[in-house]
């Protein structure tokens, strides 16, 4: 049965449900992509999965929708790696000041979390411990317990305006494999 479930989960994604108003502000778009990347990373870690392809979805005010994707060198569940790929893809299609109606981030080519270790690069270990701690705090106190300062502007919570208080549990994902 677990094998059947694993075949059904082909990607993990997070979308804005559309901005309340079209957004053209680069900082706000960057923070939205960062927030979506963090959500995707959290879902991947919770399911003990990693993905190799990062995909963005972008909708303009005229409802024309674009998708772009990039294949990473190795599978990841790390928020920063997902965000960096998403931001680069976004930068390839967005021109400063052009309003955006909807953003989405997803990761596909899912499999077990494996990392090809570099001889001297151990920076990922620090990131992994930090993300595990953030995930544990959010699991205990809720998804909004830890947020980036950039998502708050003068006491205004953009993330809540754009995505609402979504349930952090995603029933589409299988529970972590135990063994």
pLDDT tens track for 108-143: 999 988 766 665 655 555 566 666 676 667 677 776
The pLDDT score that the predictor gives to residue 125 is 59
Q: What is the mean pLDDT of residues 135-164?
A: 58
85 in Cβ contact with 132 (< 8 Å): no
1-12 confidence digits (pLDDT tens): 344 444 456 788
13-68 confidence digits (pLDDT tens): 887 767 889 999 999 999 999 999 999 999 999 999 999 999 999 999 999 999 99
Distance CA 107, CA 158 (A): 23
- Point out the least confidently predicted range of 93-102, 140-149, 167-176: 167-176
Vertex 154: Cα angle to 150 and 157 (nearest 5): 60
Q: What domains appear along the chain, each with residue ranges and CATH number?
A: 2-113+121-146 (3.30.1490.100)
* Half-sphere exposure of residue 174: CA atoms within 13 angstroms, side-chain side: 19
């Amino acid at each position: 049965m677990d094998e059947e479930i694993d075949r059904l989960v082909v990607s993990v994604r997070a979308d804005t449900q559309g901005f309340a108003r079209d957004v053209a502000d680069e900082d706000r778009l960057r923070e939205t992509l960062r927030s979506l990347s963090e959500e995707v990373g959290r879902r991947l870690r919770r399911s003990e999965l990693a993905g190799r392809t990062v995909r963005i979805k972008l909708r303009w005010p005229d409802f024309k929708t674009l998708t772009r994707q990039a294949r990473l060198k190795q599978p990841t569940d790390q928020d920063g790696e997902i965000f960096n790929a998403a931001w680069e893809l976004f930068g390839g299609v967005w021109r400063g000041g052009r309003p955006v109606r909807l953003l989405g981030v997803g990761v596909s080519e899912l499999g077990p979390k494996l990392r090809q270790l570099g001889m001297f690069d151990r920076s990922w270990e620090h990131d992994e411990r930090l993300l595990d701690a953030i995930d544990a705090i959010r699991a205990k106190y809720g998804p909004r317990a830890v947020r980036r300062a950039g998502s708050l502007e003068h006491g205004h919570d953009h993330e809540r305006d754009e995505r609402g208080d979504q349930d952090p549990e995603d029933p589409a994902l299988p529970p972590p494999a135990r063994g």
